[in-house]
Amino acid sequence: MELLTQPLELPFMQNALMVAVAASAVCGLLSCWLVLMGWSLMGEAVAHSILPGVVLAYAFGAPMAVGAFVFGMLAVLLIGGINNTSTLKHDTAIGVVFTSLFALGLVLISRTPSETHLQHILFGNVLGTSRGDLYQVAALGLLTAAVLLLLRRDFTLLAFDRTHAHSIGLSTGVLSALLLSLLALTTVTALQTLGIILVVAMLVIPGATAFLLCRTFGQMLAVASVSAALAAVVGVYASYWLDISTGGSIVLAQAAQFSLAYVFAPRKGLLGRLRRSRPLSPADRLAS
């Protein structure tokens, strides 16, 4: 029992655990749509593109969440603009925008006096979160989760059949823009937990794990959110007892969940697919 209670005697561990769970659960929800819509690369683009906004916000004394959100939306607009006004493919536009903005952020960091503090934005510093950071993550997370759940049917139809969604009167352009805005907001929510480099894992792995395990989208939402929160708990405790990176521990816990689902998922797991593809023996045919 001491294994679980001793870390919680420290206030910074309490903050870290609550922030990690809140950010992971929200990322788990959004990751379901990103996986189904093939937007995983877009998640990576937004996560990396917010770096200059964070640096500029820090330099001018503004809230880092504001700078991150502004540059996240700027990345979305630039990608859409290049995609709509050129013959380049979507993934090419994403690559051009996010690498350019990420490089701009690195240059700004190199010219900022307090480089050490800003390194936490790249790699995360969940153990350094304050009670104020917790309130910010909770507020942004609740807002994102509320919109996702309130419009889940519209977003789900958009993911599965965009043409049908348009034919029944849904504004697919508005829904896509709203989902991308929530992606930017969710990235800001998870920024303090994992940092820019690892946040993309939180936006992909929980949804991929749930996709392998679930038959319905409702189940997928629940499994992705719960598994992401569980991985956050395991990662925070592992970082305390093993003295290792907290962000890395959380992502490795998610990766372990995905590996188990990839191999052992009843319908979509590797073993299940191999079993179904194997020819039946005479004894199996008699038994069936």
Per DSSP, the three-state class of 171 is: coil
The answer to whether residue 142 is domain-embedded is yes
Q: Give the Cβ contact number of residue 17 at 10 Å.
A: 22
**Residue 285's pLDDT is what?**
45
Residue type, 11: P
Any idea what DSSP says for residue 127? G
Domain of residue 172, CATH code: 1.10.3470.10
Task: Give the pLDDT score at 286.
Answer: 42
Q: How far is CA 185 from CA 47, 189, 230, in A?
A: 10, 6, 22
pTM for the whole structure: 0.85
* Number of domains forming the structure of the chain: 1
275 in a structural domain: no
Q: Which residues in the chain come in under a pLDDT of 50?
A: 116, 285-288
**Per-residue model confidence (pLDDT) at position 31:** 93
Question: Domain range for residue 73?
Answer: 2-202
Token pair recorded at residue 171: 């504004």
Alpha carbon distance 66, 222 (integer Å): 29
Q: CA-to-CA distance for 85 and 176, rounded, in angstroms?
A: 18
For residue 199, the model assigns a pLDDT of 85
Please return the burial class of 243, using the count of CB atoms within 10 Å of its CB with bins 0-12, 13-18 and 19+: exposed
| Predicted pLDDT at 273 | 81
Q: Are 24 and 232 in contact (CB under 8 A)?
A: yes
CA 134-140-141 angle, 5° bins: 85
